[in-house]
Structure 1
Amino acid sequence: MKKRVEMMVKSVEEIALDTFEMTLENAFIAKAAVPGQFLHLLVDGHTLRRPISIANIDSNRGTVTILFKWIGDGTKRLASCQAGMNVSAIGPAGNGFIYDASMNTVLLVGGGIGIPPLYYLGKELRQYGVQVKSFLGFQTDKHIFYEEKFREIGKTYIVTDDGSYGFRGFATDVLDNIGDFDHYFSCGPIPMLQSVTNKLGKYSGSISLEERLGCGVGACLACVIPAGSEGGYRKICSDGPVFAADEVML
């Protein structure tokens, strides 16, 4: 169940090039959110809210961590928030990842700002005793974040577009000889998700779509995407952002 709430800013920090980590406090969101869901944040001076995936939760402290890139005026204003300020949010919004303790090994495949929700998911999977292997793609070494955090939950492969750190290429370029696994979870730009689903098509998988949303509640139809074999359309904000890999047409 999502609500419109006020969240108090606890901290804002630039953790990589143009990438910011913000910690917000709200006991309801911290208790109710699951991996894969997002917050729909209202930024001063803007009519439309900004959808930002949840990267971590501390239910004991009642805090929620999000990561976002500075790509325009809206995110610039968000990055300039100071501790103690309040931010209006609707959340936890959307449907999250589906997983359970029967999984032995899973793959996390993320690109850029699609990586944060996979961290929260990976942490939860480890609590179930699931083995986690992460494949993370960044533009350059200056854009890398959360490397050590991912290494704490499992084997992690870092890939950069220019080869300035780790492997050269894209996250999907290192998905060869990965051994047996039960399921893959992926989040990132559409071209990356297309590559992941093509390469891992014979396996069970879930994908989370990044999309600029309008209303965020399924009313405006600005974020529809064609469904797979069943036909029709799916709304990313309310039916997703997480879908079975074969549920939608990328």
Structure 2
Amino acid sequence: MIKKVEMRVLSSQQIAKDTTEVILENKYISENAVPGQFIHILLEGRTLRRPISIADIDQENKTITILFKKLGSGTEQLSTVSSGTTLDVLGPNGNGFNTDLQEGTTVLLIGGGIGVPPMYALGKEYKERNVNVVSVLGFQSREHVFYEEKFQELGKTIIVTDDGSYGKKGFVTNVLNQVGDFDHYYSCGPAPMLKAVTSELKGKPGSISLEERMGCGVGACFACVLPTKTEKGYKKICCDGPVFNAMEVVL
């Protein structure tokens, strides 16, 4: 159930070029959020909230972690919040990942840029359940890479950069032939990347998480609809997603 809550900022730091990590405290959100969901943050002086994916959930300490890229004045403002600040938040929003794979199976996580954070929350949960985790993470350049060590703790991790300044050069799809067998793949990132991934892995079971600008974040405004391959026509990313079956939507 989505609730309007106040979340206290415990820390905020830049962890890569244009990328900020913020740890937020709230008992309700931390106890009810699942990997793949997001929170909707209202910033002072702004009309629309900002949807930010959840990168980590710590129920013991009643916190969640969010990571975001500074793409405009709103996220620029969010990157300046200081410890002790309280934020007006709706959450947890959307439908998260289906995590019903059994112990001993293998999952492939494919994240691109700011689509990497929700992959970490998912991989961490699977690791705790003794599911094998393989990750392929794509970034623009060495300066943009983050959470590499955290993913390596989960399992085999391949880093790819557009310019080849770190890891392997190219796109995430260029290294998918190096990951071996897996039972299910999960991916989040820009739409062109997701389109390429679903095409490359066509026929394999998979789930994708879509990033989109949103208005209300609760399905009332129809600002984030996308076409599907079913007779139902369109679905709303904010409440029907952001996670969908990889073959369900039209990218």
| Structure-2-length-normalised TM-score | 0.98
Q: How many pairs were matched up?
A: 250
Deviation at 1:229, TM superposition (A): 3.2
Deviation at 1:228, TM superposition (A): 1.1
Deviation at 1:178, TM superposition (A): 2.8
Match of 2:84 in 1: 84
Amino acid at match of 2:8: M
Q: Distance in 1 between matches of 2:81 and 2:191?
A: 30
Deviation at 1:77, TM superposition (A): 1.1
Paired residue secondary structure (1:175): helix
Q: Deviations over 1:195-223 (max 9, x none)?
A: 00000011000000000111101011010
Amino acid at match of 2:88: S
Match of 1:130 in 2: 131
Q: Distance in 1 between matches of 2:22 and 2:178?
A: 36
Amino acid at match of 2:191: I
Match of 1:192 in 2: 193
Q: Does 1:67 align with 2:67?
A: yes
Deviation at 1:247, TM superposition (A): 1.1
Amino acid at match of 2:33: A
Match of 1:45 in 2: 45
Q: Structure 1: 5+ residue runs without aligned partners?
A: none
Match of 1:23 in 2: 23
Match of 2:118 in 1: 117
Contact 2:19 2:69 in 1 (8 A): yes
**Bigger mean CA deviation after superposition, 100-109 or 183-192:** 100-109
Q: Distance in 1 between matches of 2:157 and 2:9?
A: 31
Amino acid at match of 1:26: N
Q: Distance in 1 between matches of 2:198 and 2:237?
A: 18
Q: Does 1:234 align with 2:235?
A: yes
Match of 1:145 in 2: 146
| Structure-1-length-normalised TM-score | 0.98
Paired residue secondary structure (1:211): coil
Deviation at 1:101, TM superposition (A): 3.9
Match of 1:98 in 2: 98
Q: After the TM superposition, which parts of structure 1 deviate over 2 Å for at least 4 consecutive aligned residues?
A: none
* Coordinate RMSD, CA, aligned: 0.9
Deviation at 1:45, TM superposition (A): 1.4
Paired residue secondary structure (2:196): helix
Deviation at 1:76, TM superposition (A): 1.3
